[in-house]
Amino acid sequence: MTVINSLVANDLYVDYVVKKESISALKGVSFHVKRGELLVILGPSGCGKTTLLKTIAGLLPIRKGSMELDGIDATTLAVKDRNLAYVSQSFTTYRFYTVYRNIATPLKAARVPLDEIDRRVHEAARKLDIEYLLSRKPSELSGGQQQKVAIAKALVKHPSIYLFDEPFSNLDFKTKTALREEIKRIHHDDDATMVFVTHDLNDALALADRVLVMEEGKIVKEGEAREIVFSLQDEVGLHPLEEGKE
């Protein structure tokens, strides 16, 4: 059986220019994500995780290197032409919209017919067990519920890849554990392709099919979750393994 790659990154270089000075944030990053795989990229703060996800999403230009999505050259493809969903670490809901309208936003933007929007919003809300929250405003939700809304907003798009940028950073242990299970369930039930970046070793252990380790704009290690996590547990800048004690 041939393995199909959802994403191939070839030697990516991405820079930021600040006051005419160039800061190199990705320094030759190469990796692939197989279709249906949940890849965790683990690395300390500042190593380039967000830059990498934004580059995949098409939000940052690539200085050198190339990228393929589902076998098609996507190096300069417009954001709207990549069917990707980005779930960020901060809650990115619209305060004045109901939960329903928040979840429906990406579909409205894509001009999906209203009955189809309704069907997909309810389907996503049901999967995350938040149907009873659809008429509330985000301010009437807990942090965990808000993050579920953000995940539902990704789900409705039926994206070819989910990009998770440390989505549990602001959540307590219990909520984090529950949401990891939700993400695993979606990954499993929908055969979804996911890239999850984090500095939390426990995310890698709980979620990953495979782990890449990132340091200073480069991928430095690749392997199976347990083996990688135990080799890294004393590294500075990574969330240690004891959990549930906070």
Instruction: Summarize as ranges the residues that interact with Mg ion (CB under 5 A).
Output: 49-50
Three-state DSSP class for residue 202 = helix
**Shortest Cβ contact with Mg ion: which residue?**
50
> How is the beta sheet containing 64-69 ordered, strand by strand?
21-34, 5-18, 64-69, 72-73
Residues 51-110 that bind ligand ADP (CB under 6 A): 51
Q: Which of 1, 2, 3, 18 binds ligand ADP (CB under 6 A)?
A: 18
Q: Which of 36, 46, 65, 223 binds ligand ADP (CB under 6 A)?
A: 46
Q: Pick the closer one to ligand ADP by CB: 155 or 219.
A: 219
Q: Pick the closer one to ligand ADP by CB: 22 or 30.
A: 22
Of the candidates 196, 214, 228, the one whose C-alpha atom is nearest the C-alpha of residue 44 is 214
Region of 157 please: left (phi>0), alpha (psi -120 to 50) or beta.
alpha
Beta-bridge partner residues of 8 = 32, 68
Q: How far apart are CA 244 and CA 162, in angstroms?
A: 27
Q: What's the closest the beta carbon of residue 165 comes to Mg ion, in angstroms?
A: 6
Residues 21-40 that bind ligand ADP (CB under 6 A): 23, 25
For the chain, how big is the Rg over CA atoms in Å? 18
**Interacting residue ranges for ligand ADP, rule: CB under 6 A:** 16, 18, 23, 25, 43, 45-51
